[in-house]
Amino acid sequence: MASAVRHQPVASFQSHPERYRHWKLAIDGAIARLGMDIKEENGLRPEDYELKQNSYDLGVDIELADAIERLRFEHPEVRVLVFESLLPKVFCAGANIRMLASSTHGFKVNFCRYTNETRLSLEDASQHSGLRSLCAANGTAAGGGYELALAADRIYLVDDGNAAVSLPEVPLLGVLPGTGGLTRLVDKRKVRRDLADLFCTKAEGFRARDALRYGLIDGSFPRSRWEAGVSAAAADLAAQSPTRASQGVPLSPVNSQVDGRTRRYRSVELTLDAEARVATLTVRAPEALAPASASALRDEGAESWAIRVFREIDDALLHLRFNHDTVGLVLLRTEGDPDAVLAHDAVVHDNPGDWFATEIRLLRARVLRRLDNTAKSMFAIVDRGSCFVGSLFELALAADRSYMLSDDEAGPTLHPTRAASGGTYPMGTAISRLQARFAREPQRAKDLLESEHPMHAEEALSSGLVTLAPDAIDWDDEIRIAIEERISLSPDALTGMEQNLRFVGNEGCDTKIFGRLSAWQNWIFQRPNAVGEEGALTLYGHPTRPRFDFRRT
């Protein structure tokens, strides 16, 4: 039977090509190759599973996410990323089944969420940075392996009579593909619904001829012409994308120190109250002067507050997700000089043609979307000393509620700006958070951006930018009661409620993937048909066949 279900804290979400255990990155001019060579014994929990057949766990994906990010910042000369396997006759068997079976429910869902975000970052790189991607599957790409391929711009499969693409989760495991495979089939590749249905219930999948006929891949080559064919396809794809720059900017490590209940970064602090199930995420304004130009911003590189603070927020969010699953509410706070935030924002926003400033904006947008997709309640606390302005105002807009201290003219202010809140950092629905907030009154969003200025509590409340604005007498009690009420509610119901309320507007591929993940995978991963003693996921690899409760609801 499967190993006992376990939860183990994730020590770090940081990596570097010199420390990769599962990937090999090689760069030759405009083309980068990322070779998958997953070491069986190097899983995050090697006592529970082996990563056979290039199957992956969270550690593999942390390295993958790092590689994609580094190519965007450190190698702007690269125009195409080729994914390939360094194992003969196998591409990737997908997420490791033993890992899934031996993990807690929360870890499984957060693992799926993280892998989704990594693949979305690959598509984001193609759409916004001109970094195209090509999957060169020299063997079978199954489950998550094919889902990685689906995130690429082009997919090529070796035609050797044996290699296939497949999504076998439904027939073999009683669960769903967890990384957007179903949605990308019909939304991105526009595979016909009936053919997609056939494909997703055929455990062995389709070999090259039928996969090409059904639109599951873009091309194939026999093994005798495989390397030449892939190289030509990569060169063709590279010719379609311009070079952003000839020299990149190194990404320095995101460092933090843990002191009791607090994880401290240079500009971010995450403090936990485990007993109350509440965390406070505090973001500090920059203390150094803003760089005077785009060139000076590049000279500061990854140590500039403009990029560093959002990388620190990102790391803190990942620790919240994986290592603090009982925390149900995150209080978002800011502190420092609002003008300093706006000054650092200016050099990022006022240089639209600079590749590095562009990549910083895109990174900020990805971090804010990760915040949107985090299954925690979020309250923005706007009190004395706050600096919810410019890009940091997006944190308040992302919150489920916002509380602003109503005080005299010395009290806190909010300051939305057109540069930050006018669409620079879109949600997964492709609209700004301000547009989502005022979906019923779109003109109000436009008016607020036209008259951008710092607002005290009364104006912020009347403008609809905050939920409540208690005065100093009631402030402490109002916040305390709001926190106590929130954490007393069912976490399952809150996750579903927040997922429904946060994403206003038309669905896109991103929101479909995450919405369906939250609703369906959350449910299916707990059903006896998948994870019960006789469930398909539990019994995978054993001679005993699963037993299903055939009632449908």
Q: Order of strands across the sheet with 206-207? A: 90-92, 140-142, 164-166, 206-207
Whole-prediction pTM: 0.95
Residues 55 and 131 reside in one and the same domain: yes
Q: How many residues does the chain have?
A: 553
Residues 212 and 280 reside in one and the same domain: no
Whether 546 is covered by a domain: the verdict is no
Whether 533 is covered by a domain: the verdict is no
Whether 328 is covered by a domain: the verdict is yes
The total number of structural domains in the chain stands at 2
Number of separate helices (H) and strands (E) present in the chain: 23, 19
Annotate 5-44 with b (16+ C-beta within 10 A) or e (fewer).
eeeeebeebbbebeebebbebebeebbbbbbbebeeeebb
Residues 322 and 440 reside in one and the same domain: yes
Residues 207 and 295 reside in one and the same domain: no
CATH number where 184 lies: 3.90.226.10
Whether 129 is covered by a domain: the verdict is yes
Distance from the first to the final alpha carbon of the chain: 28
Boundary residue ending a domain (496, 515, 547): 496
Integer angstrom CA distances of residue 144 from 18, 48, 477: 25, 20, 48
Residue 297 host element (H or E): helix 294-300
Whether 507 is covered by a domain: the verdict is no
Whether 271 is covered by a domain: the verdict is yes
Residues 314 and 452 reside in one and the same domain: yes
Residues 233 and 266 reside in one and the same domain: no
Residues 68 and 209 reside in one and the same domain: yes
Residues 342 and 473 reside in one and the same domain: yes
Structure tokens at 388: 């919810």
Residues 107 and 227 reside in one and the same domain: yes
Whether 549 is covered by a domain: the verdict is no
Boundary residue ending a domain (238, 273, 304): 238
From first to last of its 553 residues, what are the pLDDT tens digits of the chain?
A: 345 677 778 989 999 999 999 999 999 999 999 999 999 999 999 999 999 999 999 999 999 999 999 999 999 999 999 999 999 899 999 999 999 989 998 898 899 999 999 999 999 999 999 999 999 999 999 999 999 999 999 999 999 999 999 999 999 999 888 889 999 999 999 999 999 999 999 999 999 999 999 999 999 999 999 999 999 999 999 999 988 999 999 999 999 999 999 999 999 999 999 899 999 999 999 999 999 999 999 999 999 999 999 999 999 999 999 999 999 999 999 999 999 999 999 999 999 999 999 999 999 999 999 999 999 999 999 999 999 999 999 999 999 999 999 987 678 999 999 999 999 999 999 999 999 999 999 999 999 999 889 999 999 999 999 999 999 999 999 999 999 999 999 998 998 899 889 999 998 888 888 887 767 777 888 889 988 999 998 998 889 999 998 988 7
Alpha-carbon distance 493 to 104, whole Å?
19
Q: Are 145 and 93 in contact (CB under 8 A)?
A: yes
Residues 41 and 184 reside in one and the same domain: yes
Residues 215 and 102 reside in one and the same domain: yes
Range of the domain at 128: 23-238
Boundary residue ending a domain (208, 238, 268): 238
Whether 551 is covered by a domain: the verdict is no
